[in-house]
Structure 1
Amino acid sequence: MHTTRNAALEAWMEEHGHSSNSLAVAVNDAVERLTGHTGGYDGSSVRAWKSGRVRWPNEVTRRALELVTGLPATELGFVPRGRAKSTPVPQQEDSDMKRRTLVGGFAAAAAAAAAPGTASRRIGMSDVDRLQTRFAEIIASDHRRGGQRDIEQRAAALADEALNLQAAGSATQRVRSNLYAAAAAFRSSAMWAAIDGRRYEDAQKHMREAQALAEMSGDQAIKFRIWSHAGSMYRHMGRPNDALAANDVARNLHITRRDPMFASLGLARQAAIHGAAQDRTGTRRAFDQAEEALDRTQEAPRPVWLLAFYDQAELDSLALSAYLALGDYPTAEFHAHRCLAGLRPHMVRSRAITTTRLAHAQLAQGDAEAATATAMKVPATAATQHARVSRMLTEFGAALRATVPRSSVVQTWNEHTAAWRATA
């Protein structure tokens, strides 16, 4: 039987840099989030979708694809059974053109929702709770395979979904504030995914929208997250003065005086910025204060994004980054080992970053064999698909070749990285 290739899916994959294998991995992750069981797709499954041999995947597959791409299955070129394939829909406008204009646009949407005769239903906290469930899914995706463009796009789409609810019906001020907070939270996750993927121009666009939404929500916790992310972004961009200024905005929020966990995170990130700026005294002082604040932390209701990652292991991860930047390699290695011992199982992305940094610390101390063995523990998916990890491993290879040129260790590393690339 003649089949028509799925040009829409092929175009989406090309635009977003997905191979058949990488899209299969993303769909498998989405299936796990939806069902609790890992999907069984591989590159041949995706090729069957592209070729048109599978015109209408089963419901779980369609939901997983929609979660990955942010698009309905029909817009991905799939055709429901019994329906003739229609003329392809023209490509949507650029995502930036579709975004609402900061505060003015948000306020207009809220005003429209409040206008007489426009409300079609009552928006309540159950709608907010549903968005919070989706937010938890975004957080889980980030910790498994952070920095991916599909996570950024999905988070941005969910931010727009939260805003659309503002105009979908009537709501109390409490509900509206929570909707703005949810939209800010999603936009801050899009911002972080872009930072983690080294797409800094996109990250700054998300940051500006997230900041406006956070102001409208009045939510101190999400304001902290956005400004703290901004500090991390500027640190990765090599702008320590801007990083300190942004992180200071987060640290000066009232929530850091009420909750020592927020205070600790702000201080730990400040210490990492001091390390990047070569301020040894500031680094040590801030880390000591961060540990003291963490020790004072007690059980309390906190946002899911904070509870999902911040603990002693994350503090050690930030210390590792700082002392590596300072050239204090023994101290960096100490924090790396302590971080790896304390990382929770879901922190897949963090484990890859920490392992890579540990390899750098070991190599800088002259132990090329141990460093290479450590670097080879990084999973191939992180080594080839996570922008920060890929860059650090490339730098590791260059440093290894400069340290022990023409050695068997270099040959081992070259063969290992070739195997990585072959599976990408």
Structure 2
Amino acid sequence: MADNLALRRFMDDLGLTHAELADRVNLEIGCLTGKPGTVSERTVYNWLTGKTSWPPVKHREALRAVFGCTGPDLGFVQPGRGNRAHPEDDVKRRSFMTAATGTALAVGSPAIAAPRRIGHSDVERLNTRFADVIASDHRHGGKLSIETRAEALADEALDLQQHGAASQRVRAALFGCSASFMSSAMWAAIDGRRFDTALRHHERAASLAAMSGDAAIQFRIWSHAGSLFRHLRKPNDALAANNVARNLPIACRDPLFASLGHARHAAIHGLTGDVNAVRRSVSRAQDALDRAGTGDIRPVWLAAHYDQAELDSLALAAYLALGRYEDAESHAHRSLGLLRPHMQRSRAITNARLARAQLGQGDLEPAVTTAMAIPAGLAAHPRVAGMLDRFGSALLDVAPNSPHAQLWDQYTHDNRRTPA
């Protein structure tokens, strides 16, 4: 009997406790069968410790709905069969799903099932899981597991749209759900520096968003595209993509969307060396943010991500790219003072940029101290690791024989980072 490390990792990605996972599974069982599940914390404990190596089919289907993964992907092993599929188990699964969706197959007749009726409750269930993906991204970011799960959930939303009976409004909402998940898969790939994959995700996400008619998710996808091209150091493409987002009607109606569009434009202009364009965009972003009402209902991805701290973080990126290190440091300190406690990855990114801004002003000791203070686990994040590598190279260029360079060299030797 061995611990189920795969399931534990998936739970950690979503930040789920034993009790919270039990509640999610029971909710999914209720959606599938019409009756609440009876999974307890003890049940989850048995899964994690390996005492239960192959849960009943309804538990596996509910776990699949929560995580977007099959039983073997979640670390479960069918006794005596390893991870190999088995015909008898497939029959049990089909029998359960047939009963759960209320379909009946006549003996001796073709297996033609009436389509399941899809409604707003299914859309709400998907939206809840989208919120989970957003929360996981804020805690970890860039992980392949987040990207894979988001892509699987996008497929699930499409499957409902293609095989269920639904109104046109619900179908559009399902396209929007699928586009939302693909936008998160795209961002996870960007954050993990898997840029070719991110470009493929963008194509699919943009197509799904267009079919949904959801302007908010279209904004997110094209705004992400602007960030993707910025990371690829293609400022003209980045400006063009971000302009698609900024010119959407929702950016004209809602100043919070407008503010994010201007702030990301500032970061892109930093690559072009246009100081006036950066200042103008930062100013417009601030004016729009000051006008944005706090009581308005916004998409979870926007409300959970964009605020004054993020505006200052994007301004920091812009001024750092321009080589205006004093302005960059000012925005860094302001962002760090406003960041929400759970946004540890964002804090690590901001500190890595702050260290570079301090180094750019010749403040070697504070710069090295700031860089070394980033927790080891966060320093292994692909974006942060890249920033710290560039910081080390800049330090060697500025003061190759200084004690600060020697200290940094020893620190990196003792704390070799591995990709997150």
Scaled by the length of structure 1, the TM-score of the pair is 0.79
Structure-1 residue corresponding to 2:141: 146
After superposition, residues 22-421 of structure 1 pair within 5 angstroms as 27-30=11-14, 32=16, 35=19, 56=53, 70-75=68-73, 78-80=76-78, 83-86=79-82, 88=84, 119-298=114-293, 299-384=295-380, 386-421=381-416
Q: Specify whether residues 362 and 63 from structure 1 end up closer, same or farther in structure 2 by C-alpha distance, changes over 3 A only.
A: farther
State the 1:248 CA deviation: 0.7
Contact 2:54 2:77 in 1 (8 A): no
Residue-by-residue CA offset, 1:133-165 (whole Å, 9 max, x unaligned): 110111011111111111111111110011011
Q: Specify whether residues 309 and 85 from structure 1 end up closer, same or farther in structure 2 by C-alpha distance, changes over 3 A only.
A: same
Could you tell me which amino acid in structure 1 is paired with residue 400 of structure 2? P
State the 1:167 CA deviation: 2.7
Q: Distance in 2 between matches of 1:196 and 1:165?
A: 29
Contact 1:155 1:186 in 2 (8 A): yes
Contact 1:146 1:193 in 2 (8 A): yes
State the 1:175 CA deviation: 0.8
Contact 1:30 1:67 in 2 (8 A): no
Structure-2 residue corresponding to 1:107: none
Residue-by-residue CA offset, 1:33-76 (whole Å, 9 max, x unaligned): 67469xxxxxxxxxxx9xx98782889x9899969984322356
Q: Distance in 2 between matches of 1:35 and 1:416?
A: 40
Structure 1 unaligned regions, length at least 5? 10-19, 38-48, 91-116
Q: Specify whether residues 27 and 397 from structure 1 end up closer, same or farther in structure 2 by C-alpha distance, changes over 3 A only.
A: farther
User: Which deviates more from structure 2 when the two are superposed, residues 178-187 or residues 373-382?
Assistant: 373-382
SS in 1 for 2:273: coil
Q: Specify whether residues 87 and 62 from structure 1 end up closer, same or farther in structure 2 by C-alpha distance, changes over 3 A only.
A: closer
State the 1:294 CA deviation: 0.6
SS in 2 for 1:336: helix
Contact 2:313 2:335 in 1 (8 A): yes
SS in 1 for 2:401: coil
State the 1:333 CA deviation: 0.1
Say what the alpha-carbon RMSD is for the aligned residues: 3.1
Residue-by-residue CA offset, 1:318-345 (whole Å, 9 max, x unaligned): 0000000000000000000000000011
Contact 1:200 1:233 in 2 (8 A): yes
Residue-by-residue CA offset, 1:81-100 (whole Å, 9 max, x unaligned): xx32257359xxxxxxxxxx
Could you tell me which amino acid in structure 1 is paired with residue 200 of structure 2? K
Q: Distance in 2 between matches of 1:66 and 1:350?
A: 30
State the 1:378 CA deviation: 1.2
State the 1:174 CA deviation: 1.1
Q: Distance in 2 between matches of 1:151 and 1:64?
A: 19
Could you tell me which amino acid in structure 1 is paired with residue 187 of structure 2? W
Extract structure 1 runs of 4+ deviating beyond 6 A.
Answer: 52-55, 61-69
Residue-by-residue CA offset, 1:380-412 (whole Å, 9 max, x unaligned): 11211x211111101111222222223332232
Q: Distance in 2 between matches of 1:166 and 1:325?
A: 44
Q: Distance in 2 between matches of 1:183 and 1:223?
A: 12
Q: Specify whether residues 118 and 269 from structure 1 end up closer, same or farther in structure 2 by C-alpha distance, changes over 3 A only.
A: farther
Contact 2:172 2:211 in 1 (8 A): yes
Structure 2 unaligned regions, length at least 5? 22-46, 87-111
Q: Distance in 1 between matches of 2:331 and 2:394?
A: 21
Contact 1:359 1:375 in 2 (8 A): yes
State the 1:291 CA deviation: 0.5
Contact 1:333 1:358 in 2 (8 A): yes
Q: Distance in 2 between matches of 1:141 and 1:410?
A: 36
Q: Specify whether residues 24 and 329 from structure 1 end up closer, same or farther in structure 2 by C-alpha distance, changes over 3 A only.
A: farther
Q: Distance in 2 between matches of 1:234 and 1:373?
A: 31
Q: Which protein is bigger by CA-based radius of gyration?
A: 2
Q: Distance in 2 between matches of 1:327 and 1:23?
A: 45
Residue-by-residue CA offset, 1:215-266 (whole Å, 9 max, x unaligned): 1100000000001110111011011001111111111110011100001111
Q: Distance in 2 between matches of 1:325 and 1:260?
A: 26
Scaled by the length of structure 2, the TM-score of the pair is 0.79
Q: Distance in 2 between matches of 1:361 and 1:68?
A: 42
Could you tell me which amino acid in structure 2 is paired with residue 415 of structure 1? Q
Q: Specify whether residues 53 and 135 from structure 1 end up closer, same or farther in structure 2 by C-alpha distance, changes over 3 A only.
A: closer
